Structures are given as C-alpha cells and as structure tokens.
Structure 1
C-alpha cells in the first residue's frame, strides 16, 4: 500500500474519531435533561409534578428543531455584532445541513450546540415552575435556546467573535455564554412572573418544600454526570498535529478539563455545605462550583480551582436568600447557581489569569477589564430579552396561569394523568378542595375549567 493511501486512511479515521467524540458528548448531555426532569418534578409539589416534567420534555422537543432552522445560522452569521455576515452554509436548506458522507463535522457540531441550547431552556424551566403557562414558557425557552444564548455564543464563544477580538474574552466552559445568559434571562422573567401563591406572608418568604427531595438530589447528580458531556463539547478535537484546543484555538487537553472539573465539583459542594448545611443547596453547590471555574478550566492550577469553586459554592446560597427576601421566587435557585456563578466565573478569569495570551494577530491578552465587560455583556444579553418578552406576555395576560388553576394544581387542569394515583387525591376530591378555597365569586365548575 502506498504512502498516500495510508495517509488517506489515517485522515479518514481521524475524522471518524471527531464524529465519535462529539456523538458521545451529545449522548451524555441528554443526561442533563434527564436530571432536570427528575430535579424539577421532585422540587414541585405533588399537584404540579407532571406539568413540570412535561415542560422539560417539550423544552428539548421545541428547542432542537428551532436551533436547526435558526440557531446554527445565528452562530455563524453574527460574530461581528448585530450585523450579519454571509453564513449561507448554515442555512437549513444548505447542502451542509443534511446527511453528507464527505462531511463528518457539521452534523455532530450542530448536535452538541443544540444540546447546549436545550440546557439554557432547562435552566429557565426550574426557576418558573408551578405558575407559568406552558405556552408562554415554550415561547421564552425557544427564544432563549435557539436565539439569545447562541447570539452571545457568536460574540464570545466563536474564534472570530468580536468579544475575543476586542476584549480578549476567555470563557472556555461557556460559564458566561450559557449559564450567565440563561440565569439573567430567568431573572428578567421572574420579575414579571411574580411569586407562587403562598410564597410570601406579610412580606416574609415561606418555605415551599419539594414533594420529593430525594428525587431532586438524584436529579442534580444526573445533571453532574451529563455535565461531563457538556464540558467535553466545549473542547475542540482537531485532526493532524494540532491536537486538542479550546474554542479560541489555544492549546489544551482533556486532562486539564478533568482536573478542574472534578476540583470544581468538590470545592462547590464543600463551600455550599459550610455556607448552608442544606441538602438542596449542598448538591447544587456541585453545579455551582463547576460553573465557577468553567470559564478558566484550561488555565487554573487544580488547588486554585478548588478554592475558587468553594467560594462560588459558599456565595451561591447567600445570593439565593438575598433574592428571596426581596420578593423573587426562584423555585430552584437557578439564578444563584447559573446566573451568579456564571458571571462570577468570567470575572475570576480576569483576576487570576490576567495576561494570558490569546491566539491571533492583534487579539488582546486576557484582562480584568475585558472579562468584567464581557460578563456585563452576557448578563445584559440574557436579562433584556428575558424581561422584555415576558413583560409583553404579561400585558397580554398570557404569562401566568389563573390564580384558581394555580391553587388547584397545574396537573389536574393540564395533564390527563396523575403522578401517584394510589396516594394522590382524585379529581373529585381535588374539586371539592378547590371549591372551599376558590377565589371569591368563582363556582367550583368554573374553577375546574
């Protein structure tokens, strides 16, 4: 066999290895959504468990096709800002957006990015459980998952993005691009959505415990498993002699990501436990810790990553409590875990990795000012559309379910099934209960409608 033939076989197998790597990253990322499903169903009260689960299933089903038709083009068309460049190859009718035996990259990269988008929708989902209309949620989730986050990705998570070119922005684990954007989007929605009925009494927050805390804890552990697929999808598997690189073209490897992802997990859990002693916040600290070190996964000494993650984990419950005392009912602490820790992560790179050189002629080094400005851009990119679209939905009386439906439970009104049929009250008994607590001037029959 000739040398050229051997080289061709080698290159083909290299390309196949890329496909296999991102294929399994995408598959593992589905565990994130299985985790969110269990997490939110457990965090809901029994009367809302199935509606929370259906919302998660529909999040995936709605965002993935929307990302195919719109999101992938946005990522390729808007690296320079709000004026698109030519990205015809990313349009849904392009030859590259269909099965092609000669293209072993586009499909798997699209799949990984689509699952990133679905993750942003699931982050929003937990914050708004038990009172948002399903239709309103799906509108918001699709805008976030197939539009807002990937616009931020085009700016700050693209090798030609303006935030890299102008600010030297560094965010290899998408702490800002995914988590900060989704968390601040959720914050904007919560300001318009309002708190659950019964959450506040005389202005003081009341505890609304999960109906199944063990399910919630297991769900969060499943999310952590899925996060190894997410983190894997943040690294570039190159052919030839280049090897592994970050999304920005700087050299790295899976070992660096393994060290600091695991240290982020440990630090976040310990920090959250010492700060709260609460089981829910403790396991949430695992996710918060990984996000806290996410922007600099490729740069930190593991001991430093542990310390930074511990600080993020410790601060996270305090941020959640601060918002709760000010009337924001974030049912699962989504802003504290994702919004705050994502913002914090981006800024920390500017403190502890300032001066790190970026690839590309004229691209500035990592700096505190560049990272701080980048974090602010991510926060505003999420918050403004989250608040604006939910405000319009609120004014159209389309954001929140009616009060009597919320009291009765979304499952009984929206879902033709019961989560625990042997133990949950029947429709008849639930109707009787509703008739004793219905809003003044409302009949029991109207309450059920």
Structure 2
C-alpha cells in the first residue's frame, strides 16, 4: 500500500496569522530571535521597562498642577535656544578647519565634534553642581553633590520657571563653547589625547567655578558686574585658556621666519564662510536665550545681536582693505564674530545704536589684535584670541560705557565701568593661571602636549588619526 506523502508544511505567513499568533511570527522573522533562549531574554525587556516605569513614577510621585502656557513657552523657548547653541559647534568646526590646512582637517573636525560629548559628560557629572549648587565658600565656591536632580516641582510650574533638565541642557551648551574656543588657538600642533584631558577638566571644574562668581550670585554679581550672555564668562575665559596653551606649544613650523609672520593659508574658505553664518544664526540662541524666558526682551536682544554683527562685519572689511589694499574675507568673517562677541555681555542693555557701535569697534579691534599677536610671535591659527579674547574684554568693558541704565555715556558715572574692569581682570587671571597649571601637569604626565615634528609636517590627520579628509586630492594641495 502506498501512503501519500504530505508536502512540507509551509510556514504560516503573517497575513494569514491570527491576532494572537502575529507577535510571535514577527519576532521569529527577525534574524537571531528564532531560538528559545533569545525569546527568553527578550521576555525580560517588558519586565525591565516595567521596573523603570515604577521607579520613574516613584521618583516623580508629586502631583503637578496643570501646565500653564507661560511654563510651556519658557521651557520650549530655552530648549530651542540650547539646540541653536549646540549647533554652533558645527560653525566652530567649519571656521577652524576651513582656515587651517587640509592635512589637519580631520583632527580639527574631530576635536570640535568630541568636545561637546566631553563637555556634556563632565558638566553633568560635576560641573553644573559647581556652577549652580549651594554655597560652600560664599561668593566663591558652590557645590551640591554629583549630577543633578531632574525632578519637576509644582512651584516650577506655577512660577513658569525652567525645569532642571532644560536649564542643564542650555547651560552645558555654553560650557562646551568655552572648550571649543581653546581648540582654535592650539590647532595644527596639539596632541589629541592631551586636548581631551584638558577639555574635561576645564568644563568639569575650572569654567563652572568662575562662572558661579557671576551667574550664581557670586562675588562679582555682588559688586555689580554685568555679563549678560558671557563675553567674559564664556568667550574671554576660553580664549585665555587657549592662549596659554598656544604659548606653551609654540608656533607651528614655518609660521615665523626671522621674526616675521608667514602666511599659512586655510584650505577651504567656502566652508569657513558657511561656518561663520552658522555661528551667527546660533548666536540667536546664545544671546536671546540668556533672557531665560520668552518675553518682550527676546526680540530686542535679537536685534542688538544682529546690529553688533553687522557693525563688526563692516569694520573688519573696511580696516582690512585700508591696511592691505584689498578686502580680506578672513577679516570679514572674524569681524562678524568679533561684533557678536562684543555685544554678548550687554545685548539686553545697549541701545540699538550702541550695539552697532560696540560691534563696529570690535571689528576694528580684531584686525589689530591679529597683527599684535603676530608681532609677539604668538601663533593663533584662526584668530580665536582676537575674536573671543580681545573682543570679549572689549564687550565686557563696553557695558560700563553703553549700558542705558548704568553706563558712563548715559550719565551714570564710572561705577559700572569699574566693576567691569574688576571682572575682566578676575576672569583673565583665573583662566590664565589655572590653565597654565593644568597644561603643565598634562604635559609632565604625558611627555609634552605637542605632536612630533614629523607628525606636524606630515599632518595630524595621518599622525594622530591615520586618515585624511580629502584622500582623493593630490598631496601637494596640503
């Protein structure tokens, strides 16, 4: 007797499955999930999520009142501003890499990319607590444990204030900016690992301690010092830290010959120009966001910020043409950034005309500052100190002149200018001294902070990273 053979059983298709069978069929269709062991481990996922959910509920057990429009508007506004400031990292990367040589592009891009990750980690671990914690040494040092409490309270909702996570998100973007400024000053000759260590300590400890002196009601705030969005707290602070590193490193090979500066042209001015525009746009998070609420001050600050940049752009272009006979694109770029830095400290208190004048003066300063550093045989590849340091100092002092409520030019005497001078000196001395100590310690531990001569000549892309930004271009283009 012949027994009819049955055809092999066809796996049931998902379209034919019942509602109860469908989830299992979907899981089995995923490669690696067909085994019983895989499914057992997968079953643990909902249990883990349940545990996390219970923990989250217990951590936020306090009932919140209905969220008000003002609370939502303020937090959404600062959230967007934080994203704009973080996106400035792209602008810094493009300006720095474009103004430096092709053979170092990967190194520069990686430094600017990793610096935000470093800043976020260090600032989350301890920096935010040091900057906005409770008084340990009143006016000088603050601390409130590691990490920060993200809990939202009913009072925050009622007062339409920022929740801790949004505040941290905004503040860490500023901290990262200070570290990014350092990158420009030490470009094309710093060891990557040593730069990473420096950035971690700078953002985790040095920057937040000095920042608390003003933005957490510290001693500078008590004497009346004003730095609305960080001309000194962020910009000149980062510039001083980078300047010390540049001086310890020494100039790049070929930068100076017989005491005279030699041109080492950037490899991509289109990228540098785009980076400048990204920074300009990002500044609308930097300055208007420092209002820390969505109110009538925000559009006014946006306008003074715009006028400062415009004044700086015009001045940088004019002065470079008068000095060199032709307008210099690099000086227009640096003029825009100089104007932005120049109004950052006082953008809420300047008149519109005062903001334009302050930016214009910043555009003049940046051109002569670049020449001054060259005459001192200090190699600043992208003009970072001239933009953020010299104009950060000027912008801080300009508050004492142009502030409508306390400035000298508005009939309020020298008191505000005196407070601004104290703040400029305090941030300059603290940043330079602590950075010199930190750079020296790092150099002693790791056998110096500068790459070898052969690595510098070949390019940091190959020496430090083993790759090139433009592998299809001729080596002679470097």
TM-score of the pair, normalised by structure 1: 0.82
- Stretch moving more, 410-419 or 16-25: 410-419
Per-residue CA shift, 1:343-368, capped at 9, x if unaligned? 111111112338639xxxxxx99611
Are 1:223 and 2:279 an aligned pair? yes
Give the unaligned 5+ runs of structure 1.
1-6, 238-242, 245-251, 358-363, 434-449
* Equivalent position SS for 1:214: helix
| Corresponding residue number in structure 2 for 1:407 | 457
Q: Distance in 1 between matches of 2:332 and 2:79?
A: 32
Asked whether the 8 Å contact 1:78–1:155 carries over to 2, the reply is: no
Mapped pair 1:347 → 2:397: yes
Q: Do 2:311 and 2:360's aligned partners in 1 also have CA atoms closer than 8 Å?
A: yes
- Are positions 1:321 and 2:321 aligned together? no
**Aligned equivalents of 1:145 and 1:261: distance in 2?**
26
Query: CA deviation digits over 1:248-283, x for unaligned, max 9?
Result: xxxx71132022101101101011111113111111
2:329 to 279, 298, 322: 279
Deviates more, 1:143-152 or 1:41-50: 143-152
Q: Does 1:134 align with 2:192?
A: yes
On the 8 A contact 2:139/2:218 being kept in 1, the answer is no
DSSP 3-state at the match of 2:116: helix
Instruction: Give 1:26's aligned residue.
Output: 82
Q: Which runs of 4+ in 1 moved over 6 A?
A: none
> Does residue 380 in structure 1 map to residue 429 in structure 2?
yes
| Mean CA deviation greater in 384-393 or 129-138 | 384-393
Query: Partner of 2:448 in structure 1?
Result: 398
Q: Give the aligned partner of residue 115 of structure 1.
A: 173
State the SS of the aligned residue for 1:55. Answer: helix
Residues in 2 aligned to 1:264 and 1:225: alpha-carbon distance in whole angstroms: 13
Q: Which residue of 2 aligns with 1:145?
A: 203
Deviation at 1:100, TM superposition (A): 5.5
C-alpha spacing 1:340/1:184, structure 2 compared with 1 (3 Å): same
Residue of structure 2 in register with 1:52 after alignment:
108
Once residues 234 and 180 of structure 2 are traced to their aligned partners in structure 1, the CA distance between those partners, rounded to angstroms, is 11
| Alpha carbons 2:103, 2:458 under 8 Å: kept | yes
CA drift of 1:417 comes to: 2.9
Q: For structure 2, which runs of at least 5 residues remain unmatched after alignment?
A: 1-63, 157-161, 321-326, 408-412
Deviations 1:393-444 (A, max 9, x none): 334523100111111111112224321222144xxx99xx9xxxxxxxxxxx
By how many angstroms is 1:232 displaced? 2.8
**Aligned match of 2:304 in 246, 260, 273?**
260
Tell me the secondary structure at the aligned position of residue 233 of structure 1. Answer: helix
TM-score by length of 2: 0.78
